[in-house]
Structure 1
Amino acid sequence: MDLFDDLPAPTNSETPSQPSRGDHREKRKRQVNPEDEVVEERTCEEKKVCKGLARIKGFVASRRGEREDMQDAHVVLPDMSSCLPAPPAQASRLAYFAVFDGHGGAHASRFAAEQLHRTLADKFPKGEAENLDKLIKKCLLDTFRQTDEDFLKKASSQKPVWKDGSTATCMLVVDNVVYVANLGDSRAVLCRSEPGEGGAEDRTVTLALSKEHNPTIYEERMRIQRAGGTVRDGRVLGVLEVSRSIGDGQYKRCGVISTPDVRRCPLTSNDRFAILACDGLFKVFSAEEAVKYVLNILQAEPVERKEGQTEEEGRYETACQRLASEAVRRGCADNVTVILVSIEF
């Protein structure tokens, strides 16, 4: 799988997984439908990006679910420029949004939330660089590797040693181009409108911006087995549900890596919003259901809003909060963290 894939095809058929109760291992096991692993590929035509920068704003909601503690972490930075040593010469706007889903503890997720964007800022291309797109993708790969190494070094110095890990789904917006780097089973999806055929009304499509990494996927399982690890009951060594993560030092020798998939998506005037969320949401919502749920709230009657918020911002805030709460109401026992990123040209 090319790590530098552009935007994948929209997912047209997903079945939400049933919520799992009573499993308190490092990541909850869920049933995998073999048909869900077959993704129809189609060529996505890139639409011309609208002139001017899209207005980007992030809204976040977190719920503990039935867990005793919150192991998720998140970052919302609509303006990341202040984190950079020097403003990039070729980018007018940088924004960063990220969700980290910890397992076995919260050390890795909190460390990644505090450090990953700082490392990204330090490594971000400086000056007038040619082929900025390629440099950004390399920068993201290096950032994930460095963050993992830094955490493992800190974890090994603790007494007792930290053995937890974390997924990561990060969205970097450079002007009007989105780069999503992810590892593990947290996900990112984009809501986009497409013209209907023959004068029909526009239709809404849900585009996957990330790829799930678990040991049941053939390429992931083969890498783990080549490294001397085993996959039992869909988990690495029968314990760890994800095949890529930050941390999990005891599994690195078994083929668990910190290399993310990196995907690129130019924003268009037809884009409405993106959802970044941990697997707690997607255990009880399909991607399409989550997008439809948000759309219904955005199109509903006026909602209450916080002081200083516009009506539109109030709708997004309400949609984000209700989506997270609905995941818990549907029986998700896991932590749930949702970031809803509005996009407006």
Structure 2
Amino acid sequence: MEDGAFCGVFDGHGKNGHIVSKIVCKRLPSLLLSQRNALARTYTEVNDNTFQNDIERIDGELRPSKNFHIWKEACISAFKLMDKEVQLQKKLDSSCSGTTAVVIIRQGEDLVIANLGDSRAVLGTITKNGVTAIQLTTDLKPGLPCEAERIRNCNGRVAALKQEPHIQRVWLPHDDSPGLAMSRAIGDFILKNHGIIAIPNIYYRHVTSNDQFIILATDGVWDVLSNDQVASIVWAADSEQAAARAVVEAATTAWKKKHPSAKVDDCTVTCLFLQKKQHVVVPVET
């Protein structure tokens, strides 16, 4: 991508979630680019008022370029197509398996973030108090009122297990399964008629000289480390790879302390430095 970068994190769940996440990781970038190029040929003008209203802006200051609208539509279209491609995999049972997806697209000073599920994107920016973490995405879980409303309107059930009262899950109307802990995903087709969707939330940020890095990580990291803790770890690292590895190590240690008898949840991290020449971004995971 000219004058830009793309990176993503995909967190599989269920019996075949690791397969689904690998398929999405390999295929989604090319789908996004092809959808973007197709839309760029058809969009000649976009009304400025459309941009003003049809967007979730993180910084609240600068209006995004018209290129954002194309990327937004491309993301939504590509995620839907990706979901369909997974469903059409004849030798893959993804009825109760799927993946989250959080991706960052940077072109110049424009930052587009697409999020599906409970992975998260966090920005590290410099303020008078030092490095500060800004959460770029919302964790899309069944406990969110708007997500729960959609699920219940589709006859899905939202409820927590007695042993995990703090975790809301999605269940079939008349069966205590599968208990999905996120409200959007690629895959999980048994719940696609009951409110689980593959439509990402899209966000925009104008990158400034104060913005230093972006962290993409699975929920296993955010369950045990705060945004500020992770930002501090990344700020102290010399490279993207070292930063990602340090976050994974810190999250793994925190998991073992917090849940000594439990299996460590998947902790996958990708870091993108904004104020230096872009490097190849390699995810680090447990």
Tell me the TM-score normalised to structure 1 length. Answer: 0.63
| Structure with the higher fraction of residues in strand conformation | 2
Q: Secondary structure at the match of 1:205?
A: strand
User: What residue in structure 2 maps to residue 330 of structure 1?
Assistant: 254
The structure 1 segments of at least 4 consecutive aligned residues displaced by more than 3 Å after TM superposition are 125-130, 159-163
Tell me whether 1:158 sits opposite 2:91 in the alignment.
Answer: yes
Structure 2 length normalisation: TM-score?
0.76
State the match for 2:4 in structure 1.
Answer: 94
- Map of 2:107 onto structure 1: 174
| Post-superposition offset of 1:162 | 5.5
2:77 paired with 1:142: yes
Match of 1:85 in 2: none
Distance 1:261 1:186, change over 3 A: same
- Cα deviation for residue 163 of structure 1 reads 3.3
Name the structure 2 match of 1:246: 186
Q: Deviations over 1:116-141 (max 9, x none)?
A: 11111111134584432211111111
State the alpha-carbon separation in 2 of the partners of residues 217 and 160 from structure 1: 28
**Larger relative contact order (C-alpha < 8 A, sep ≥ 6)?**
1
Give 1:294 shift. Answer: 2.1
- The 5 Å alignment of 1:301-316 reads 312-313=238-239, 316=240
Overall identity of the aligned pairs, in %: 28
Query: Matches of 1:97 and 1:294 in 2, distance apart?
Result: 16
Matched ranges for 1:230-241 at <5 A: 230-233=157-160, 234-237=168-171, 239-241=179-181
- In 1, the alpha carbon distance for the partners of 2:99 and 2:92 equals 20
CA contact (8 A) 1:189 1:210 kept: yes
- Could you report, residue by residue, the CA deviation over 1:281-332 in whole angstroms, capped at 9, with x for unpaired residues? 111101111111222x23xxxxxxxxxxxxx43xx43232121012111126
**Residue pairs, 1:76-225, within 5 angstroms:** 81=1, 92-104=2-14, 105=16, 106-125=18-37, 126=40, 129-130=44-45, 131-154=66-89, 157-158=90-91, 163-194=96-127, 196=128, 202-225=129-152
Matched, 1:279 2:219: yes
Shift of 1:205: 2.1
> How many angstroms does 1:161 deviate by?
5.9
From 304, 320, 323, the equivalent of 2:244 is 320
Question: CA-atom RMSD, angstroms?
Answer: 1.8
